[in-house]
Amino acid sequence: MTVRRTPNRSSSPGRPEVLVILGSSLTVIAIICIVTFLLIREHANAQQAATRSATTIAQLINADVLRTVELYDLTLQGLIAAAQRDDLKQVSAQIRHLVLFDRSTTARYKSDILLLDKHGEVLADSSLIEPKPGNFADRDYFLVHAFNRDMGMFISRPFKARCDCDYSDEWQISFSRRISSVTGEFLGVAVASMRLAYFDQLFNSLDIGTGSTLAIINDDGVLLAKKPFLQDNSIGKSFAGRPNVVRMLREGSGSFDGVSSVDRAQRLYTFSRVGNLPLTVVVALSGDEVFATWRRTAIVISGASGVLCLALLWLTWLLCRELRLRYSAEQELAQLAATDALTGVANRRTLDQTLRHEWFRAQRSGKPMSVLMIDADHFKAFNDRHGHQAGDEALRALAEVIRANIHRPTDLVARYGGEEFSVILAETDNDGARQIAEHIREQVEQLPSVAGDDQPMTVSIGISTWTTASDISLEQLLFSADKALYQAKEGGRNRVVST
């Protein structure tokens, strides 16, 4: 049996449920997008703040190194100017020593300050009035000036002193200048050495946190100083082949995220060239420290957002379940409202709605439509003999037989009233309707009799069919079916009559 109802969009759970799910999904997506945007922005802010801090540290180091190098350069220029004075040759060795190294007292962390001739031999030593013999012609600072007359101040690679002095085991670098004659002839080199403990003192005065590093490299990628030491014997070692160092030497200054080639830690590198000197300051902040606060915030916000999204999805699920339950209840109520409570087939209200719907559909399509009116024969007498309960059972059995013979979804079985039933057969002509009616009549006659009653249940059926050749209304169609049913009863019952 198919109970046909007028479609009711508001009772369908599909659209509201889809809208609820769509709204919740869009809300969850919006929350995720907003939280993601905020976290990305906070990450960028944390990185920018760290970069500004690192840039400030690099600028402080640059300024201090520039001042220190300037002092050493002034010392070298004073030494060269004094060495070229002819009148110093006539004074005592002590006075000559004081004049030559007058400016060297201002240089911090100084080691030896030497005046070398064109063969690399020591002419004057800041630590001794009478210099010890020595030759430094193999040093890089001597060679570069000997073969390059245009070289200004040169900063050497790190080295250790060739002496038995207190700082012989300390790393040093030297600042040197060429001594030339008026005609440009090479006369020697003025060289001032500085202990790299200067950089240790400078770095120790700056707080960069644990896990971060400070370093100074020259243009050849050679490490001059580092805090803290992550590798032994790294001073004086060239890192020119490391990707991070290659980038720093190429760009000169800037910042970037990278992985350290030494300890494989994620770091935020900020680097800056020290004025016009062949030195680069590198501030490598630990990524764990830079983003520690951001990570804690991200965990809290992500956790809270996750809980909120899960709660929203759970509430959506509850609401959808309630909508489905409500829809099921509405469907059940609609079914009850459209169904005859005794027989389970459609009631009179549904019959009237479906009959009008199929009538207009037949008018549009031009296809035939048939109506069966079915009445249980002698039902009042049966009810009087066996009681209302047996009568109700008989009506249910009759409805089941009728329903079993109606197979198409477009057809409808309905209780018209009392012991009378009606069947709407869409797109069915008179012959088809009569065949169905005969099947119903025969199967009803074969129903088991009530105990103690030899008379089988029978039905009378009236048929009325509309075709395009018929010039009748819906009311006339029903009247014709009812008239045919009356004729079947007058004709002896248990028969089918069509008009």
pLDDT tens for residues 272-287? Answer: 999 989 999 999 998 8
Average pLDDT, integer, range 310-339: 86
Hey, which residues does 370 pair with through a beta bridge? 425, 465
38 occurs within a structural domain: no
Mean pLDDT is lowest, of 106-110, 206-210, 233-237, 369-373, for: 106-110
Average pLDDT, integer, range 101-109: 69
pLDDT for the residue numbered 183: 86
Task: Out of 290, 307, 331, pick the residue that ends a domain.
Answer: 290
Mean pLDDT is lowest, of 48-57, 207-216, 371-380, 451-460, for: 451-460
Largest CA distance in the chain: 164
User: Do 414 and 346 contact (CB within 8 A), yes or no?
Assistant: yes
pLDDT for the residue numbered 164: 59
pLDDT for the residue numbered 39: 94
End-to-end alpha carbon distance in the chain: 26
- pLDDT grade, residue 337 (50/70/90)? confident
29 occurs within a structural domain: no
pLDDT for the residue numbered 3: 37
174 or 452, which is more confident? 174
pLDDT exceeds cutoff 50 at 259: yes
C-alpha pair distances (Å), 451 with each of 385, 390, 454, 458:
11, 11, 8, 16
Q: Are strands 412-417 and 496-498 parallel, antiparallel or unpaired?
A: unpaired
Task: Out of 290, 313, 348, pick the residue that ends a domain.
Answer: 290
- pLDDT grade, residue 45 (50/70/90)? very high
Task: Out of 225, 255, 290, pick the residue that ends a domain.
Answer: 290
282 & 349 share domain? no
pLDDT for the residue numbered 105: 63
Q: Helix 292-338 crosses helix 14-83 at what angle (to 10 degrees)?
A: 170
* Average pLDDT in the chain: 87
Average pLDDT, integer, range 342-358: 92
Percent of the chain surpassing pLDDT 70: 92
364 & 490 share domain? yes
Mean pLDDT is lowest, of 68-77, 303-312, 397-406, for: 68-77
481 & 381 share domain? yes
Residue written as tokens 């050497």? 156
Q: Single out the residue of 493, 494, 497, 495 nearest to residue 481, CA to CA.
A: 497
Percent of the chain surpassing pLDDT 90: 53
pLDDT for the residue numbered 226: 87
Q: Whole domain around residue 255: which residue ranges?
A: 199-290
The CATH number of residue 251's host domain is 3.30.450.20
pLDDT exceeds cutoff 90 at 263: no
61 occurs within a structural domain: no
pLDDT for the residue numbered 335: 75
Average pLDDT, integer, range 65-72: 91
The CATH number of residue 485's host domain is 3.30.70.270
278 & 383 share domain? no
pLDDT exceeds cutoff 90 at 421: yes
351 & 471 share domain? yes
Domain count, the chain: 2
